[in-house]
Chain A
Amino acid sequence: MADKTKVGTMWLGGCSGCHLSIADFHESLLDVLELADFEFSPVLMDTKYDEVPELDVLIVEGGIRNEENRELIEMLREKAGLVIAYGTCAAYGGIPGLGNLHTVDELTQEAYIDSPSTYNEEGIIPSEDVPALESRVRPLDQVIDVDLMIPGCPPKSDVVAQAILTLLKGETIELPTTNLCEVCTREKPPAGLAMDFIKRQFEVGKPEDDLCLIAQGLVCMGPATVSLCGAQCPSIAIPCRGCYGPTAKVNDAGAKMISAIASDYGVSEDKTVDPEQVADQLDDIVGTFYTYTLPAALVPAKMQKGGE
């Protein structure tokens, strides 16, 4: 029998949720283990960073948040043949990326001193044994060369299992190029996606079955999100938050979605609707449209006055 492929997994600035998605392979795990051995995985086994074996495939979860993340990924890049940016944090920065709206000082102040659950009378901000934060969160491909991106928060287990099996068999992986609306089963209104108001879910209550959520006033990120997940959230009446990121044709998912929502808003009475209305009803533009993709956006971090 030919040698098995050596697979490693690594976690950086993530939450380990993506590793759970690997643990959820169920029966597919047997197929994967036929072809591959997990040789390095700090989540699953005891590992030493100075004894990392040569790897064929490295699956990386999480973005680059601190100096340790950067050092480890640069070391691992040398050891690995293929690097997969696995999950939205690795591919686009993910939710930790919203930290890019604040300076490092603001973040440490909040985490170590100001947060209500913290008891730190002397106001000590640890600097030893804790890796220093970098100026902003970065997706993997801004730090090292990445061979494949599998987004998702977390990526669906069967999607990952399929992708890894395809890769192990030496075949080409093709990610979908269509948006979520293509696969969403909800009915699109015949006259286009006109919305007359923007509401949050708790204000709407239970949305109507079978009708597009945008037409019901919810900001569903489906139009700017890749169709890799199969529209799971809209199918149970939860608007898409864009956790899989955009399709490959889009540079900036948030801006694309802003474009879509602003165009759809009151589109049936284009000429009479107050243009300020749509902006008035959305308070947190960055948090709404860039929940998962801020570090990969065209403007990846808040500019500080005077450019620091």
Chain B
Amino acid sequence: MSDDIKIVMFCCNWCSYGGADTAGTARMQYPPNIRVIRVMCSGRIDPQFVLKAFRDGADGVFVAGCHMGDCHYDAGNYKLDRRMRLVYKLVEDMGIGKERVYHDWISASEGEKFKNAVTMMVNRIKELGPCPLKGQLDAEA
């Protein structure tokens, strides 16, 4: 069961997606439970995306952007940072649990950090088990 977990990961085009590329070209090994969605900037990520992922059956959501000060568009990641603090509170209030959401900064050269962060997140979600949201809503419908 716990091998079936799915984590949706949003990566910004300029840093984190590059970090994923670096991890890939260096053939680093990390668990296959992650689905990466590329966006132009982490500032593009709306809390709706996170909730939609859970609604459609994700067990965890990982948002990654450039390090502070490195944003390609100057300050998109600062806005995301503030937004995520509210998202943590929201998912906690909705009973999903803030442990299922995580955001971190990964630069294009940090393949190692990408691997470690993904592994950490997959382990964390495996421990929590599948998110009950989709099952509960489907059962009621």
Say if the beta carbon of B90 comes within 8 Å of chain A.
yes
Contacts of B133 in A (CB 8 A): 299, 303, 307
B31 on the A face (CB < 8 A): no
Interface residue A262 (Cβ < 8 Å from any Cβ of B): yes
Contact B79 A302 (CB under 8 A): no
Give a binary string over A251-293; 1 marks a CB under 8 Å from any B CB, 0 the rest. Answer: 1101110110111011100110101111100100110010000
A298 touching B55 in the complex, CB below 8 Å, given contacts A271-B78, A286-B94, A303-B132: yes
Q: Known interface pairs A135-B140, A299-B96, A302-B94. Does A256 touch B48 (Cβ–Cβ under 8 Å)?
A: yes
Asked if A285 contacts B89 (CB within 8 A), the reply is: yes
A19 to B51, CA, bound (A): 34
Let me know if B86 is at the binding interface, CB within 8 A: yes
Kindly list chain B residues whose C-beta atoms are within 8 Å of the C-beta of A271.
68-69, 75, 78
Contact residue among A270, A298, A304 (Cβ-Cβ distance under 8 Å from B95): A304
Interface presence of B85 (CB below 8 A): yes
Query: How big is chain B's contact interface, by range?
Result: 35 or more
A277 to B82, CA, bound (A): 8
Q: Which of A256, A263, A276, A300 contacts B85 (CB 8 A)?
A: A276
Which of B48, B79, B96 contacts A263, CB < 8 Å?
B79
Q: Say yes or no: is B83 at the interface (Cβ < 8 Å to chain A).
A: yes
Q: How far is the CB of B46 from chain A (nearest CB, A)?
A: 5
For residue B69, which residues in chain A have a CB less than 8 angstroms away from its CB? 271
Contact-residue size bin, chain A (C-beta under 8 Å from the other chain): 35 or more
Least CB distance from A267 to B in Å reads 8
Q: Interface digits, B55-99 against A, CB 8 Å rule (1 contact, 0 not)?
A: 100000000000011000001001101110111111101111000
Cβ-defined contact, A258 with B47, below 8 A: yes
Which residue of A255, A289, A300, A306 contacts B132 across the interface (Cβ within 8 Å)?
A306
Known A255-B51, A270-B75, A271-B78: A303·B87 in contact at CB below 8 Å: no
Residue B24 CB within 8 A of the other chain:
no
Contact with A along B123-141 (1 / 0, CB 8 A): 0000000011101110010
Q: Given A276-B85, A279-B88, A279-B89, verify A252-B95 contact (CB < 8 Å).
A: no
Q: Does B17 contact A (CB under 8 A)?
A: no
User: Does B52 lie at the interface of the complex (its beta carbon under 8 Å from any beta carbon of A)?
Assistant: yes
Q: How far is B52's CA from A136's CA once the two chains are assembled, in angstroms?
A: 19
A278-B82 contact in complex given A251-B52, A298-B51, A303-B133, C-beta closer than 8 Å: yes
Taking CB atoms, residues of chain A closer than 8 Å to B131 are 303
Which residues of the other chain, A, contact B86 by a CB distance below 8 angstroms?
258, 261-262, 278-279, 282, 285
- Rank and list the top 9 A-B pairs by shortest CB-CB distance, nearest first: A307-B132, A303-B95, A279-B85, A255-B47, A298-B51, A262-B83, A275-B81, A262-B82, A270-B75
Binding site for B on A (CB under 8 A): 101, 135-136, 250-252, 254-256, 258-259, 261-263, 265-267, 270-271, 273, 275-279, 282, 285-286, 289, 297-308
23 pairs, CB–CB < 8 Å, chain A vs chain B: A250-B48, A252-B47, A252-B51, A255-B47, A256-B48, A258-B83, A259-B48, A259-B83, A261-B86, A262-B79, A263-B82, A265-B82, A286-B93, A286-B94, A297-B51, A298-B48, A298-B54, A299-B55, A299-B133, A304-B95, A304-B132, A307-B133, A308-B136
